Structure 1
Amino acid sequence: MNPPSARLLTKTQAASYCGLSPATFGGVCPVKPIALGEGVRMHRYDVRDIDNWIDGFKTGGAVPPSKFEELINKL
C-alpha cells in the first residue's frame, strides 16, 4: 500500500490505511483524533500516531489498550 498523500486522515481514510473497516478501526485503535473544528466531521487522525501504534506491535513494546479493552477492564 502506498503511503497517504496527506498527514491527517479522516476516520475512513485512517481505517483504510490500516486495512480495517471504519467500525473495526474505531473499536481497536487507541489513537485519538485531532479536533480541527466543531463536530466529528472535523476530526483527523495523524498518520504518525497511527504508525507508532502499529510499530508497537512489531517491537513488542507497550501498546496502548484499545477502546474495547478499556471497556472490558472496567467491568
Structure 2
Amino acid sequence: MKYEYDKEVDGLYIWFVEDIEEEKCNYENEIWPTELKEEIGLLFGKNGLLMGLEVMPASKYFEQNHLDSFDQT
C-alpha cells in the first residue's frame, strides 16, 4: 500500500497497487457511496478491480501528524 496526502484539499489517497505511477493510467472511475457519507471514495481500475480509497476530509478521520508524515501530492 502507498499513502498520499494532498494538504490543499485535505485528501488522503490509499493505494492498493504496487507501482501507483504506472497504474494511474489504468484508473477508470470512482464511487462515493452514501453509506460512507460520501467522504470515502472507492477508486477502480479499467479492469474493475479496486485500486484504492480516497478520503475527504482526511483530517476528520486521521490525526494531522499522521497525515503530514505521508507523501505530499
- Identify the TM-score tier after normalising by the shorter chain: under 0.3
Larger relative contact order (C-alpha < 8 A, sep ≥ 6)? 2
Larger proportion of helix: 1
Larger Rg: 1
Question: Please, what TM-score do these two structures have when normalized by structure 1?
Answer: 0.27
Which is strand-richer, 1 or 2?
2
TM-score normalized with structure 2 length: 0.28
